Amino acid sequence: MTPPQPPPVVELVGVRKEYPGGVAALAGVDLTIWPGELLAIAGPSGSGKSTLLHIVGSLDRPSTGTVRIAGHEVADLSDRELSALRARDLGFVFQSFHLAAGVSALDNVADGLLYSGRPLRARRREAAAVLERVGLADRMTHRPHELSGGQKQRVAIARAIIGEPALLLADEPTGALDTAAGDTVMALLRDLNAEGATIAVITHDHDIAAALPRRVRLRDGLIVSDSRAPVEAGAV
């Protein structure tokens, strides 16, 4: 018997986001993200992808429509409950890293569990394990100014995944990196996905989007295409 499919991590139905003046950044978006997916949300500047990121990341609420994140209906949550949802179920990676200056890689990552209630020693122990997982076991005591751009982004990814969120949102994760470092970061995201992480990469880079298993393309606040790479022969 086939086991039942787990519920979606993200479910948007008829989502609109309008700003004063009648400008519709999202004009009726339906989007479902299933556990274990790796997808690109792509589009040119002004397409609505940043607004979509804010909606999916529970950083903003839609004007109309339904948003469910990790099984929770966003409209039913208070601001405090939304903050708890972000801390528990969502991980964020940004183009500009957002690492605390003067703080070691270990403690930058440990801060990802700041609201977990765990003692500092336990948070550091978990941070060390995650830094090793992203290939930075030899950089734990280094501060951001002592790290390359690619290393900073791997620290940021480690911080985002330390709490094992239901969804990792990576907003232009290679935008501030050279090609080699960007390739390393994307390879890491693929590895994390292979281990079971659900990851959405928000990007304007056509090459990055084309290389991912699922591509959702936006234009003028609407999804204009949603395609998946063909399954290779012999793949399970």
Number of domain units in the chain: 1
Q: Could you tell me how many residues make up the chain? A: 236
- The answer as to whether 221 is a domain residue is yes
In-domain check, residue 11: no
Model confidence pLDDT, tens digit, residues 173-218:
999 999 999 999 999 999 999 999 999 999 999 999 999 999 999 9
CATH number where 149 lies: 3.40.50.300
* Contact status, residue 136 vs residue 157, Cβ threshold 8 Å: no
Beta strands in 172-221 (DSSP E): 199-203, 214-219
Q: Is residue 91 part of a domain?
A: yes
Give me the torsion for CA of 151, 157, 163, 168, rounded to 10°. -170
* 68 domain residue, yes or no: no
Task: Summarize the chain as % helix, strand, coil (round to 5).
Answer: 35, 25, 40
CA distances 190 to 48, 104, 122, 144, 231, Å, are: 25, 26, 28, 24, 16
User: Which residues contact residue 223 at a Cβ distance below 8 angstroms, ignoring those fewer than 6 apart?
Assistant: 29, 30, 31, 216, 217
In a domain, 51, yes or no: yes
155 located within any domain: yes
Expressed as residue numbers, the domain containing 165 is 38-59+86-228
Predicted confidence (pLDDT) per residue in 107-119, tens digit: 999 999 988 888 9
Reported pTM: 0.92
